[in-house]
Chains A and B, each alone.
Chain A
Amino acid sequence: MGLLEVSGLDAGYGDLQILAGVNLVVDAGEYVAIVGPNGAGKSTVMKSIFGLTAYMGGSITFADEEISQLPPERIITKGIGYVPQNDNIFPSLTVKENLEMGAYILDEVPQSRLRRVYDRFPVLEERKSQKAGTMSGGQQQMVAMGRSLMLDPDLLMLDEPSAGLAPDLVEETFDRVDQINDDGTAVLIVEQNAKEALRRCDRGYVLVQGSNRYEDTGEALLADEQVRQEFLGG
């Protein structure tokens, strides 16, 4: 059994269906990427897993428990962390307050986890009293990741973490995701930067028009002539 199993998922916004029969598995500790053209519904898959879209059918199980009809505030307690693509920090709160909000559902902020986040992102400790909204894009991304790590999730979902970052920061961001995964957290990532994501991940899914098109290891997808032609620009 995989940690996360999505099968035959139909979902969308209001009456508009975006996803049609999406299947996806993430095993414990695995690193899985979803790539595909714009408008394929990549982000929608993540939002649907987190209970932020209109559910229309299919099943989502996490650690053998059906979660497809749960609201986000329940899903977060199951061990799934989610970092949205945009607006993923509280700009007028300090860095430390942002991290504390990540552990809001716990009775008190676990100091050991705060410590681990600071060890992972030392710049956040240096700037813990700074308002998060005044930081650079790369640092804000660290605040967002740090916040979602405060609950020590079994699965971390990252929606385009490298979007809008300068090229050298893109590399750094992917390195950080690797580290998080190396420490045992399963990662599900949606990326526009498909080649880099497929190079780093264990397995990848190519999503087209709301359905799976290809599914294989990252290396195999990168090597596949048809995938290269259609989705990776040759």
Chain B
Amino acid sequence: MGTRDARGLRTAVTPERLFGGVLLLGVVILVLDLFRRVATGDLSADALSSFLWRGLVDGLIIGLAAIGLSMTYSILRFANFSHGDLVTTGAFTGWTVAYIIGGIGVADLSSRLLLRADGGASPGEMNMHILAEPIAIVSGLVFAAVATILVALAIDNLVYRRMRNAGGIALLIASVGVALVLRYVIAFFYTSSTRGVTASAPESDHWLLFWTDSINLHQTTMVVSAIVLMLGVHLMLQYTTLGKAMRAMADNRDLALVTGIPTERVVRATWIIGAGLAGVAGYLVVLDRGTITFNLGWFLLLLIFAAVILGGIGSIYGAIVGALIIGLAINVSLVWIPADLNEVAAFGLMILVLIFRPAGLFGGVETA
């Protein structure tokens, strides 16, 4: 009798479920409050729509980076803490190329090579925005992917390949080391100062998305690039032989080996896709924010991890959905809390999901 009661109690209200319930109640109240605010006009439809748009922008960027993190987790079986610094690598290498091409005749080469580490000609003087310098900015985007891929392959060759069977914890710790090396090598060359690199984004009122008066063209570039790349990854994974092999290896590495799937080639493809997307994400973050700093990726990494965990670690679709939820949460929460604290909303949601669905929203449903 006593044991049955105890068991009943344990499944009914564990402390974490109690905490989760309170958290869930809080979320429900906030959502209801959001409706009330919109209905009573406390929050204008315009303001809400701009929060939602920002949420989409942030969510897609985080999602782009989260795909790679999720893939390295499911195929190489470790949580890669240097992923954020691959994002930073993409930002610096890509913008360096954009400056080399776009700043010809405005600033001298050394200033452009080091991305205004000397405080040289301002981005405004260079007209560094998408309409004035489309070729420079698109070249930078492509180079961000290429350079990040090369860096990731070099790191794999130097570090991770030698410890392929070392286990998740050893690899994780190695990746923390890689993260620190990458970050401070970047700081060594580009200095640790935060600086503006893009001119203010041109606005267009031609198409009115999200009921706003005009639309920021840098954010639009970002959203379009992110959606195209995500679609590309989806098609690649579902319909190409390599994509199927990647999913197979994520499913069952030993069987993949016995089936004759070249596991090292799959690993290389994983780095190429994951690092390429991370580099592009870093480049686009800077396009949107306008400023660059050596620990940009490191700070983004927490949100990337939150997205991956929220969606169910190992699932790229989960990572994208998780990232969109995180992006919306950090922006819509601005209705109630100041911007300095808005990441609380992201991690609060993550805790909530972990309490009620420990494997994540898509956990165990879909790998790779």
Instruction: Determine if A92 and B257 form an interchain contact, defined as CB atoms under 8 angstroms apart.
Output: no
Give the interface segment out of B54-62, B177-185, B247-255, B301-309.
B247-255
Determine whether B368 belongs to the interface, using a CB cutoff of 8 Å to chain A: yes
Asked if A72 contacts B258 (CB within 8 A), the reply is yes
Contact A82 B247 (CB under 8 A): no
A160 CB to nearest chain B CB (Å): 16
Q: How far is the CB of B267 from chain A (nearest CB, A)?
A: 14
With both chains docked as a complex, state the minimum distance between the C-beta of A135 and any C-beta of chain B, in angstroms: 14
Q: Verify B251–A90 contact, CB threshold 8 A.
A: yes
Q: Is B255's CB under 8 angstroms from A104's CB?
A: no
Q: In the complex, which residues of chain A have a beta carbon less than 8 angstroms from the beta carbon of B262? A: 73
A50–B258 touching, CB < 8 Å: yes
Residues of A within 8 A of B259 (CB): 76, 101-102, 104, 147
Set of chain B residues within 8 Å of A230, measured between Cβ atoms: none
- Quick one: given A101-B248, A104-B245, are A89 and B255 in contact (CB under 8 Å)? yes
The one of A73, A88, A100 in contact with B260, judged by C-beta atoms closer than 8 angstroms, is A73
| A100 to B257 alpha-carbon distance, docked (Å) | 15
Residues 57-84 of A at the B interface (beta carbon under 8 Å): 72-73, 76-77, 82, 84
Decide: A104 and B241 in contact? CB cutoff 8 A: yes
For residue B263, which residue of chain A has the nearest CB? A73
Tell me whether B366 is interfacial, beta carbon within 8 Å: yes
Specify which chain A residues have a CB less than 8 angstroms from the CB of B260 in the assembled complex: 72-73, 76-77, 104-105
How many residues on A have C-beta within 8 angstroms of the other chain's C-beta atoms?
A: 22
Bound state CA distance, A102 and B245, in angstroms?
Answer: 11
Of B244, B256, B258, B261, most A-chain CB atoms within 10 Å: B258
Known: A73-B260, A73-B262, A100-B244. A92 touches B255 (CB 8 A): no
Contact: B244 with A97, CB < 8 Å? yes
> B281 CB to closest chain A CB, in angstroms?
26
Contact B368 A92 (CB under 8 A): yes
Q: Which residues 254-276 of B sit at the A interface, judged by CB distance below 8 A?
A: 254-262
- Answer yes or no: B367 CB below 8 A from chain A CBs: yes
Q: Is the CB of A76 within 8 A of B255?
A: no
- Bound complex: CA A102 to CA B255 (Å): 10
- B226-253 CB contacts (< 8 Å) to partner A: 241, 244-245, 247-248, 250-252
Cβ contact of A76, chosen from B241, B245, B258, cutoff 8 A? B258
| Contact with B248, one of A73, A76, A88, A90 (Cβ below 8 angstroms) | A90
A87-142 with Cβ < 8 A to chain B: 87-93, 97, 100-102, 104-105
Minimum CB distance partner of A100 in chain B = B244
Instruction: Report whether B244 and A101 are in contact in the complex, using a CB–CB cutoff of 8 Å.
Output: yes
Closest Cβ of chain A: how far from B127's Cβ, in Å?
49
Q: How far is the CA of A82 from the CA of B259 in the complex (A)?
A: 8
A73 to B254 alpha-carbon distance, docked (Å): 11
Report the bound CA distance from A72 to B260 in whole Å: 7
> Which of B241, B247, B366, B367 has its CB near the most chain A CB atoms (within 10 A)?
B241
Docked Cα-Cα span, A102 to B250, in Å, equals 16
Interface status of A52 (Cβ within 8 A of chain B): yes
Q: A73-B260, A104-B241 are in contact. Are A93 and B254 (CB under 8 A)?
A: no
Q: Which residue of B lies closest to A71 (CB)?
A: B257
Cα–Cα, bound, A229→B232 (Å)? 63
Complex: chain A residue closest to B249, CB-CB: A90
Q: Which of B241, B250, B255, B366 contacts A88 (CB 8 A)?
A: B255
Determine if B252 and A82 form an interchain contact, defined as CB atoms under 8 angstroms apart: no
A100: B residues at CB distance < 8 A:
241, 244
For this complex, 12 residue pairs linking A to B, each with C-beta atoms less than 8 Å apart, are A72-B258, A72-B260, A84-B258, A87-B254, A90-B248, A90-B252, A92-B247, A92-B250, A97-B244, A101-B244, A101-B256, A104-B241
Chain B interface residues (CB < 8 Å from chain A): 241, 244-245, 247-248, 250-252, 254-262, 366-368
10 closest A-B pairs by beta carbon, nearest first, are A105-B260, A90-B251, A76-B260, A90-B248, A92-B367, A73-B260, A101-B248, A104-B261, A92-B251, A97-B244
Given A89-B252, A100-B244, A104-B260; 9 other pairs, CB 8 A cutoff: A73-B257, A73-B260, A77-B260, A84-B255, A87-B254, A90-B247, A101-B245, A101-B248, A104-B261
